[in-house]
């Protein structure tokens, strides 16, 4: 076998690097951020389990359970969550603020009488004054629901949904000293089981006060790795998102019908973002992008956010077990019922927590996204994209995402200088789907923005 002279080899290597650097498109992946990796490594399965166990120990967290009992029920669980947030505020360098929003709801439906409810959690303030109205939301609902009509019956609610609360609180702990560009809400939401009441209140309040929710994740029913069909899986998680926005106007519908985009609504793009930036930081986890708003005939706390025009997605076990949802713990004919700690897998939940933490770290530090993105070139051999850039000094460039029109996932990316237009020579418009994102010098990207105008 012949060997190559070292001098010749060193002369060839730089040339190879130059060729690679000039490739117009790269795989739709990104480099690992060491700071994010360090934070992700701090997710502790034992802490997740301890939070779930503490909530389960209240016996029930039904929204209408006895509010006078100091150790059992929804009101006792509220006090524990508040105390837990206060302990996170005491961490070195913590910037967390207690989030406690009380409101009256009810008088019909699943809440026949008016009752005081409370959304709880922590707020991590953003540091960019120009983006003071931009927020991210991660939420799990802390109420639980037993079978039957007895509101004080046992309803442990380990997987549904103390698990979601555990992720929200664990992310708050790890990010407590962070200085993101935009504000993050770490929420334990109220009365999800009575009709998404707490999430609806929060979504409407944020909308009415002029906030833009850049992404909302509802983690609901997570931690069970064996489904009712006996399939067992701790390596996948379902991520549900709507394609066509619920809040689409007639004008937006006309543009969508002209451009396509049924698979590129705000929620769907956010789901892709979470998968793309979350999976690399969580070993042996595959996020399934479910092309549905939610499971068939069902809904969750992300739904009110989508209804307000915000990107909202839901994370849920791949294989649900319905004997462990909304059930009083019992054994009937040798069959176990009840959402108890026995069926909660903290290591599985930790995998999901790592992915969500990584995606929130990247997005909360990312520059503002482009806007008024237009696309044209129909009837020619080329594709043209134009956009406007926000006044954000952290923007160092742009990333053009591209996939074939028959694909679900982004397939390639192209790095662009800070600009407002790109012309893609000999790329026929109809065969591909595009979106454009801003990026900073550290590689933090905005969520890609799909075109909303046809260039003439």
Q: How confident is the model at residue 27 (pLDDT cuts 50, 70, 90)?
A: low
Q: What pLDDT, in 10s, does the model give residues 40-67? A: 999 999 999 999 999 999 999 999 999 9
Q: How confident is the model at residue 11 (pLDDT cuts 50, 70, 90)?
A: very low
Backbone dihedral region for residue 372 (phi beyond 0: left; psi -120 to 50: alpha; all else: beta): left
Length of the chain: 456
- CA-closest candidate to residue 390, choices 438, 353, 342: 438
pLDDT at 16: 36
Mean pLDDT of 2-10: 39
Share of the chain above pLDDT 70, in %: 93
Q: Is it the case that residue 72 has pLDDT exceeding 60?
A: yes
Q: Is it the case that residue 20 has pLDDT exceeding 50?
A: no
Element (H, E) at 337: strand 335-337
- Distance from CA of residue 7 to its chain's centroid? 51
Mean pLDDT of 439-450: 96
Q: How confident is the model at residue 456 (pLDDT cuts 50, 70, 90)?
A: confident
Share of the chain above pLDDT 90, in %: 92
Mean pLDDT of 165-175: 98
> Which residue in the block uniquely carries the two structure tokens 């192209």?
414
Mean pLDDT of 75-94: 98
Q: What pLDDT, in 10s, does the model give residues 110-128? A: 999 999 999 999 999 999 9
Q: What token pair was written down for 238?
A: 């379902």
pLDDT at 108: 85
Answer yes or no: are the C-beta atoms of 273 and 345 closer than 8 Å. Answer: no
Q: Is it the case that residue 198 has pLDDT exceeding 80?
A: yes
Answer yes or no: are the C-beta atoms of 395 and 350 closer than 8 Å. Answer: no
Mean pLDDT of 400-420: 96
Mean pLDDT of 277-297: 96
- CA-closest candidate to residue 177, choices 91, 235, 93, 108: 93
Backbone dihedral region for residue 59 (phi beyond 0: left; psi -120 to 50: alpha; all else: beta): left
Q: Is it the case that residue 406 has pLDDT exceeding 60?
A: yes
Answer yes or no: are the C-beta atoms of 188 and 82 closer than 8 Å. Answer: no
- Give the Cα separation of 331 and 338 in Å (integer): 9
How many Cβ atoms are within 10 Å of 209's Cβ, its own excluded? Answer: 8
Given the DSSP bridges, would you call strands 236-241 and 383-388 parallel, antiparallel or unpaired? unpaired
pLDDT at 28: 58
Mean pLDDT of 331-345: 96
Mean pLDDT of 121-148: 97
Q: What pLDDT, in 10s, does the model give residues 248-280? A: 999 999 999 999 999 999 999 999 999 999 999
pLDDT at 133: 98
């Amino acid at each position: 076998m012949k060997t190559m002279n070292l001098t010749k080899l060193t002369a060839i290597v730089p040339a190879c690097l130059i060729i690679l650097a000039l490739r117009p498109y790269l795989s739709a992946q990104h480099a690992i951020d060491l700071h994010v990796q360090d934070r992700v490594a701090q997710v502790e399965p034992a802490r997740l389990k301890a939070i779930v166990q503490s909530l389960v120990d209240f016996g029930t967290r039904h929204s209408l359970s006895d509010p006078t009992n100091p150790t059992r029920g929804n009101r006792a669980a509220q006090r524990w969550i508040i105390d837990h947030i206060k302990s996170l505020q005491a961490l070195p360098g913590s910037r967390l603020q207690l989030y406690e929003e009380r409101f009256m709801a009810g008088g019909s439906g699943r809440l026949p009488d008016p009752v005081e409810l409370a959304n709880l959690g922590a707020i991590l303030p953003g540091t960019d004054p120009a983006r003071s109205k931009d927020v991210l939301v991660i939420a799990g609902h802390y109420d639980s629901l037993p079978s039957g009509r007895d509101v004080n019956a046992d309803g442990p609610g380990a997987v549904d949904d103390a698990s979601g609360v555990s992720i929200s609180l664990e992310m708050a702990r790890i990010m407590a000293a962070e200085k993101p560009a935009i504000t993050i809400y770490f929420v334990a939401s109220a009365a999800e089981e009575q009709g998404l009441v707490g999430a609806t209140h929060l979504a409407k309040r944020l909308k009415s006060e002029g906030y833009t929710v850049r992404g909302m994740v509802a983690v609901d029913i997570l931690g069970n790795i064996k489904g009712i069909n006996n399939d067992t899986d701790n390596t996948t998680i379902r991520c549900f998102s709507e394609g066509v926005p619920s809040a689409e106007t007639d004008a937006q519908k006309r543009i969508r019908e002209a451009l396509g985009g049924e698979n590129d609504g705000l929620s769907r793009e956010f789901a892709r973002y979470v998968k793309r930036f979350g999976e690399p930081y969580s070993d042996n986890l595959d996020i399934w992008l479910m092309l549905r708003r939610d499971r068939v005939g069902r809904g969750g706390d992300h739904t009110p956010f989508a209804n307000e025009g915000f990107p909202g997605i839901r994370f849920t076990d791949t294989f649900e077990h319905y004997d462990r949802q909304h059930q009083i713990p019992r054994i009937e004919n040798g069959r176990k019922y009840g959402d108890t700690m026995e069926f909660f897998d903290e290591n599985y939940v930790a995998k999901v927590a790592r992915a969500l933490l990584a995606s929130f770290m990247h997005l909360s530090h990312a520059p503002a996204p482009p806007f008024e993105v237009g696309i044209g070139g129909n009837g020619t051999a080329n594709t043209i994209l134009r956009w406007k850039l926000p006044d954000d000094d952290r923007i160092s460039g742009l990333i053009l995402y591209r996939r074939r029109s028959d694909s679900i996932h982004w397939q390639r990316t192209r790095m662009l200088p800070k600009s407002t237009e790109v012309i893609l020579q000999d790329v026929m418009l109809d065969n591909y789907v595009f979106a454009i994102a801003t990026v900073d010098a550290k590689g933090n990207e905005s969520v890609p923005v799909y075109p909303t105008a046809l260039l003439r």
